[in-house]
Amino acid sequence: MDSNDVSADLAHVLYTKEQIQDKIAELAVQIDRDYEGRDILVVGVLKGAVMVMADLARALHSHVNMDWMAVSSYGSGTTSSGVVRILKDLDTDLMGKHVLIVEDIIDSGLTLSWLKSNLISRGPASVEICTLLRKPEAAKVEIDVKYVGFDCPNEFVVGYGLDFSEKYRNLDFIGTLAPHVYQ
Ligand code: XMP
Ligand code: MG
């Protein structure tokens, strides 16, 4: 490891590359079974869900179309306000489609609960959610998440798509930041 190695900025590894890949394979089996005979439109939420999307889509055997959305929560800093603005909308008409929203992490759940209702209003046949990580706070909002990879500790996590100031997204594992990085 050289002095510029990003993994040196992490305090703890929460989920290794192998654990993440095994979990995604497990979720894909479940999803293939549930959607048997139906095409799936997977909707990735930029930018965090890029890694999960790439690996999940390749693990699925169903017919899959991929599309992307970018949203931003109004409000300051690290807490979500629940008021969401669409930065990049889908290219796909959702009418009659089976939509599976793919997320990296659900924290308060406010962003996703807004997104789910927004997509439902476009007339799809179904809308479900798959998230790799879910924080305990998410349990407080009424949001039905069908596929969850890991229920994770209530700490700020990075890696595998998740960032701190746009860094660490490229790590193939997920961990917590060492204090020297944010102090
Ligand atoms: P909600 O609305 O569920 O927002 O509170 C979820 C979004 O917040 C971001 N988020 C994180 N990003 N590490 C990150 O890199 C974290 O620990 C974390 N917790 C929440 C993320 O963008 C997610 O989509
Ligand atoms: Mg995200």
- 107 belongs to the catalytic site: yes
Per-residue confidence of the chain (183 residues) as pLDDT tens digits? 566 788 889 999 999 999 999 999 999 999 999 999 999 999 999 999 999 999 999 999 999 999 999 998 765 555 566 678 999 999 999 999 999 999 999 998 888 999 999 999 999 999 999 999 999 877 777 889 999 999 999 999 999 999 999 999 999 999 999 888 888
ipTM of this model?
A: 0.90
Other Cβ atoms closer than 10 A to 53: 23
The verdict on the CB of residue 51 being under 6 Å from ligand 1 is: no
* pLDDT the model gives residue 115: 95
Other Cβ atoms closer than 10 A to 155: 12
- What are the structural domains, with CATH classification, of the chain? 11-177 (3.40.50.2020)
* pLDDT the model gives residue 142: 80
The verdict on the CB of residue 109 being under 6 Å from ligand 1 is: yes
Q: Whose CA is nearest to atom 5 of ligand 1?
A: 108
Spatial distance between the Cα atoms of 118 and 130, rounded to a whole number of angstroms = 16
Give the tokens for residue 24. 């995604």
* pLDDT the model gives residue 171: 96
The verdict on the CB of residue 176 being under 6 Å from ligand 1 is: no
Strand partners, 162: 159
Q: What atom in ligand 1 is closest to the CA of residue 155?
A: 17
* pLDDT the model gives residue 81: 62
- The active-site residue out of 39, 55, 91, 107 is 107
Spatial distance between the Cα atoms of 15 and 173, rounded to a whole number of angstroms = 6
* Ligand approaching nearest to the C-alpha of 145: 1
* pLDDT the model gives residue 68: 98
* pLDDT the model gives residue 75: 58
Please tell me whether the overall predicted TM-score, pTM, comes out greater than 0.80 for this model: yes
Other Cβ atoms closer than 10 A to 7: 13
